[in-house]
Amino acid sequence: MDTYLAFVTPVLTVLWALICLRIYTMISAENTGQRRLIAVAGAVGAALIYVLSTYVVALLKAPSSSDVPSQGESRVRVQSKP
C-alpha cells in the first residue's frame, strides 16, 4: 500500500486539472467570463484536492495506536497465586 500512496496526490490533482481543462475548451471563446470562472475554480479545486489528499495520505501512513506500545503496558506484571 505504501508503494502507490506517493502517487495519489499528484495523480488526483492532474486528473482534476485535465477535467477542468476539458470543460474550459468546450466553452466558446466568446464567453470569457465563463472561461475565467472555470479557470479560477479549477485552480482552487486543484489546490484543495492537493492539500486534502496530502493530509489523508499522511493519516494513512501514520502507525495506528495498536501498533505502538504505550508506557502503561510495559509496567504491568501478572503474578499467579502459588
Give 11-32 pLDDT, tens digit per residue: 999 999 999 999 999 999 999 9
Contacts of 54 (CB under 8 A, 6+ apart): 9
| Spatial separation of the C-alpha atoms in residues 64 and 47, rounded to whole Å | 28
Using DSSP's 3-state secondary structure scheme, residue 2 falls into: helix
Using DSSP's 3-state secondary structure scheme, residue 62 falls into: coil
Sorted by where each begins, the domain ranges of the chain are 2-61
Give 30-72 pLDDT, tens digit per residue: 999 999 999 999 999 999 999 999 999 888 888 776 665 555 5
Per-residue model confidence (pLDDT) at position 34: 95
